Chain A
Amino acid sequence: MKRERDYIQDIAEIRSMMERSSKFLSLSGWAGIMAGIYALAGAYIASVVYDFSPDRITYSVSLPAGLSEIILLALGVLILAIGTAVFLSYSKAHKRGEQVWNTTSRRMIIHMSVPLAAGGIFMIILLSKSLIGLLAPTSLVFYGLALYNAGNFTYPEIKYLGIIQIGLGLISCYFIEYSLMLWALGFGVVHIVYGIVMHFKYER
Chain B
Amino acid sequence: MKLSIDDLHKAFESRVRLGIMSALAVNDALDFTSLRDFLNVTDGNLATHIKKLEKEEFIGVEKSFVDNKPNTTYYMTDEGRKAFEEHLKVLEKIIKSQK
Identify the A interface with B (CB < 8 A).
1-2, 4, 7-8, 10-11, 13-15, 17-18, 20-22, 97-99, 102-103
Which residue of chain A has the shortest Cβ distance to B39 in the bound complex?
A: A17
A-B contacts counted at CB < 8 A amount to 56
Q: Is the beta-carbon distance between A103 and B95 smaller than 8 angstroms?
A: no
Cα(A83)–Cα(B22), bound, Å? 33
Judge whether B38 is part of the interface by a CB distance below 8 angstroms. Answer: yes
Is B30 in contact with chain A by the CB < 8 A criterion?
yes
Contacts of A1 in B (CB 8 A): 5
Quick one: closest A residue to B15, CB to CB? Answer: A13
Does the CB pair B95–A18 fall under 8 Å? no
Show 8 residue pairs from A and B whose CB-CB distance is below 8 angstroms, ordered by the A residue: A4-B98, A10-B15, A10-B18, A14-B88, A17-B38, A18-B26, A21-B27, A21-B38
Establish whether residues A22 and B26, one from each chain, have CB atoms under 8 Å apart when the complex forms: yes
Indicate if B47 sits at the interface (CB-CB under 8 A). Answer: no
Given contacts A20-B38, A21-B27, A102-B34, contact A13 B95 (CB under 8 A): no
Distance of A7 Cα from B30 Cα, bound (Å): 26
| Neighbour of A21 across the interface among B5, B18, B30, B91, CB < 8 A | B30
3 closest residue pairs by CB, A with B: A17-B22, A21-B23, A103-B34
Query: A14 contacts B18, CB within 8 Å?
Result: yes
Q: Is the interface of A mostly helix, strand, loop or mixed?
A: helix
**Shortest beta-carbon distance from B3 to chain A in Å:** 11
Task: Report the interface size class on chain B.
Answer: 20 to 34
Interface string of B2-30 (1 = CB under 8 A from A): 00010000000001001100110111001
Please state if B95 and A7 are interface contacts (CB–CB under 8 Å). yes
* A21 touching B95 in the complex, CB below 8 Å, given contacts A13-B15, A13-B18, A98-B37: no
Which of A4, A13, A22, A99 has a CB less than 8 Å from the CB of B27? A22
Pairwise interchain contact A17-B19, C-beta atoms closer than 8 A:
yes
Contact for B95 among A11, A14, A17, CB less than 8 A = A11
Instruction: Say whether B94 faces chain A, with CB atoms less than 8 Å apart.
Output: yes
B38, A102: Cβ atoms under 8 Å?
Answer: yes
Report how far A183 CA is from B32 CA in the complex, Å: 43
**Contact indicator B19/A13 (Cβ below 8 Å):** yes
